[in-house]
Structure 1
């Protein structure tokens, strides 16, 4: 009999609470045990994955599913399988994000205050079809000390079930409870879990705008995520043509379906007849459809005109195409570009191509996005590329975590106060009158004493 949503959430909470005495070394050992179990069960995992692939291909043939989704489901290639396993090892080898002292001060003689990083608690993570995400997120949760309940896309249900079984088998042989990582399968389970704010501390959705918006309105639990990936590249008046072609092409073409691919290109009006034609030709050669405003449309030479060049609409500059389509617009000034990006961006990642260090620095300060890049593809916005081992998702919010969320984004902090005075300390002894003590607020070594750290 399957668990109710409350039973699942409560089991995760109990597993989390029991895990707080588990050391960093024991969590890393649990991760290596997960990798070993996946290696042992590879044939079983790939058999389940083939069932998902076959079912998905039937839907593609029926016209109810995109062919690109089938490719994302596939775990059978050696590169993807080995990358998934290596990701576990990479996370296991990362520094422990918990127990770090970020503030330490002496309030009085023998009275010490420490701010220390700690896990958030129980995570509910809802993500797209890719089955390896089960392993990626489970790895981050285990390393960061958070329990997790995972829900993948229905297209990967067989793969996710077997992967979760491997993880739970490995955990049952470790210092962590097997309920530390749980996988649910249905929308009904998610609806119930979104009501469990007593046991679940954070929801992380990875998916469409509609999914994220629905979850944000369906729960009292804090939600960390992003709804859109409207990323922009701006070519300023100093942009180098070769550099512009490379950065814009990679930002759009490397993986168009990703949330960090560029959807909008802004071109400074002073380079409409020089740099822009070369960039347009490069994009058209890669079969990108250009939706241009009047000035960029007129600046494309007739020698490179194409059926893939069309007039843009207002809506094009607010659309996440997730395909080989790019909206293009001319701007007359740096300030106009910044204002346009801040108005239309989803605050994910935006880039400038410039030879002006001043413009690059000003762009990074002025753009209100989680990632601001200079002369680099927006596709670099990724936890693996940032050195996080992997990522649990992307956040475009302005509190706690922002951008690719790896281990550091899965911890919060607590304050530890200890008195080593023989009588203990009380607030009543402190005050502004002559007979009262004053707080010292003197910095002390940012290292937890053994009796607080347990190490």
Structure 2
């Protein structure tokens, strides 16, 4: 695709975004139900395309170029299409994120200021491996009134193309051009320079990839970097619960970013907890490494300093014994990626100290890190998990795809009235009220 082609697609998305911003929620939701119906009806088409991607990926896996985790993320067999259809319907049923009055304030008599939620505009997304991510991002963008530029990885090209075509066909009578697909690396580089047209970029991939995007654009970036997640088994933990949570966090689906990569164990319970836990992990084919203190208790390979900051996305786990809750917090803040952590303890005060102390987007008490997900949070779906602190944090759903604008309702007021030698004072009083055109509070 040439530079002109890329600009044509982005320009079409710009035009569509202006129309989507005024499209009623009923129409946006109906369009999403149409998308869900279309994907459900076109299962064979999607699975045939996906089989081509998986077959090509498995060939590269045998050559050592791809990992098993990548192939697992790519494969849509085994009920994943059911989950995709359910996810789209869930997004459709979410409360409208647009047109919400976030605050209302009397500036003066008959002068009322409203803060109103609105779409961001044109969103550019670049993601890898998982074709279901294309549907998630498109669904959330449509529900939130945003146009979207989609760029998936080459390993999922056939799947992405089939899903994109189905989505566009199902929404043909909605604003034309609201979803665009780009497929070449050169298109991404061109997109990075279109700060006058693209309002937000959302890369999903390795930290190096996200850093590349951030370093090569002036467009705001909502970064989704790697997930170096931790489970800390405290000295006050219910060890049976700890074993169940630590197992789920690693093996339930190891290829995703919210799977645990490092298990931290308080020294006071290491001898009681680790032998059984290691045995359970080995029953599930988990490759284990540990610090020297861990290796004094159980027979595992030695962990290197680099391991503590590594995301595996596979059946691999590092184990470290720590002397205190403070040491656990320090380890997470030093080696983690600000994604998701969990503390297992029966002591509420110690749980609170850990949860307040770690600098991560999601922190759990007595629960698996695998709960860090937009669908499980009740957001309908997610466009990614932001490990930054602005403009959204953690699983990013509909609210993270909105911004706001200010609406002022007056009755002929002039700024000069509130300036000069004898200015009229402002009231600046908050009140409960919803904005509608021409509405004054009457107070």
TM-score (norm 1): 0.92
Distance 1:46 1:452 in 2: 52
- Residue 366 of structure 1 is matched in structure 2 by 357
Q: CA separation of 1:68/1:362 partners in 2, compared to 1, >3 Å: closer, same or farther?
A: closer
Structure 1's 45 and 279: CA in aligned 2 closer, same or farther, altered over 3 A?
A: closer
Structure 2 residues without counterparts, runs of 5 or longer? none
Do structure 1's residue 6 and structure 2's residue 7 form an aligned pair?
yes
Instruction: For 1:100-179, list aligned pairs within 5 A.
Output: 100-174=100-174, 176-177=175-176, 179=177
Deviations 1:104-151 (A, max 9, x none): 110000000111111111111111122222221111000001110001
Whether contact under 8 Å (2:74, 2:129) holds in the other structure is: yes
The 5 A counterparts of 1:209-358 are 209-300=207-298, 305=299, 309-358=300-349
1:452 to partner: Cα distance: 6.9
1:357 Cα deviation from its structure 2 partner? 0.5
CA contact (8 A) 1:114 1:415 kept: yes
5+ residue gaps in structure 1?
Answer: none
Q: How many residues align?
A: 439
1:197 Cα deviation from its structure 2 partner: 0.6
Shift of the 451–170 alpha-carbon distance from structure 1 to 2, 3 Å rule, reads: farther
CA positional deviation for 1:392: 0.4
CA separation of 1:54 and 1:331: change in aligned 2, threshold 3 A: closer
**Aligned equivalents of 1:401, 1:263: Cα separation in 2:** 24
Change (3 A) 1:452 1:310: farther
Higher mean displacement: 146-155 or 159-168: 159-168
The question of whether the paired residues in 2 share the 8 Å contact of 1:241 and 1:279 is answered with: no
Question: Contact conserved, 1:137 with 1:392, CA < 8 A, in 2?
Answer: yes
Corresponding residue for residue 193 of structure 2: 195
Q: Summarize deviations over 1:184-232 as a string: whole Å, max 9, x none.
A: 1111111111111110011111112221121111111111122221111
* Aligned residue in 2 for 1:406: 397
TM-score, reference length from structure 2? 0.94
Give a deviation string over 1:286-305, Cα, whole Å, max 9, x none: 222222112121122xxxx4
Report how far residue 169 of structure 1 moved. 1.9
Residue from 187, 190, 206 that aligns with 2:204: 206
SS of structure 1 residue aligned to 2:433: coil
Distance change (3 Å), C-alpha of 1:68 and 1:323 = closer
Q: What secondary structure does 2:232 align onto? A: strand
1:446 is aligned, of 420, 433, 440, to 433
The answer to whether the Cα contact below 8 Å between 2:222 and 2:391 also exists between their aligned partners in 1 is no
Aligned partners of 1:4 and 1:189 also within 8 Å = no
Alignment of 1:9-24 (within 5 A): 9-24=10-25
Say which of 429, 441, 447 aligns to 2:417: 429
SS in 1 for 2:241: helix
Cα deviation, residue 283, structure 1: 2.3
Distance 1:225 1:215 in 2: 9
Match of 1:72 in 2: 73
Shift of 1:13: 0.9
- For the structure 1 residues 169 and 100, does the alpha-carbon distance in structure 2 shift closer, same or farther, using more than 3 Å as the test? same
Change (3 A) 1:63 1:298: closer
Change (3 A) 1:24 1:356: same
- Match of 1:396? 387
Alpha carbons 1:46, 1:76 under 8 Å: kept: yes
CA–CA distance in structure 1, aligned partners of residues 165 and 335 of structure 2:
43
What SS does the corresponding residue of 1:207 show, helix, strand or coil? Answer: coil
Contact 2:204/2:223 (<8 A) preserved: yes
Counterpart for residue 55 of structure 2:
54
Structure 1 pair 40–274 and aligned structure 2 pair: CA distance change class (3 A): closer
Distance 1:43 1:269 in 2: 53
Match of 1:375 in 2: 366
In 1, Cα distance between equivalents of 2:292 and 2:384: 37
Q: Work out the CA distance in 1 between the residues paired with 2:434 and 2:210.
A: 39
How large is the Cα RMSD of the aligned pairs?
1.9
- Alpha-carbon distance, 1:45 to partner: 2.7
1: CA distance, partners of 2:19 / 2:90? 25
- The change in CA–CA distance for 1:353 and 1:299 in structure 2 (over 3 A counts) is same
Contact in 2 for aligned 1:432/1:438 (Cα 8 Å):
no
Task: Summarize the Cα distance change of 1:51–1:451 in structure 2 as closer, same or farther, 3 Å threshold.
Answer: farther
Q: 1:432 to 1:370 in 2, by over 3 A?
A: farther
1:74/1:184 Cα in 2 relative to 1: closer, same or farther (>3 Å)? Answer: same
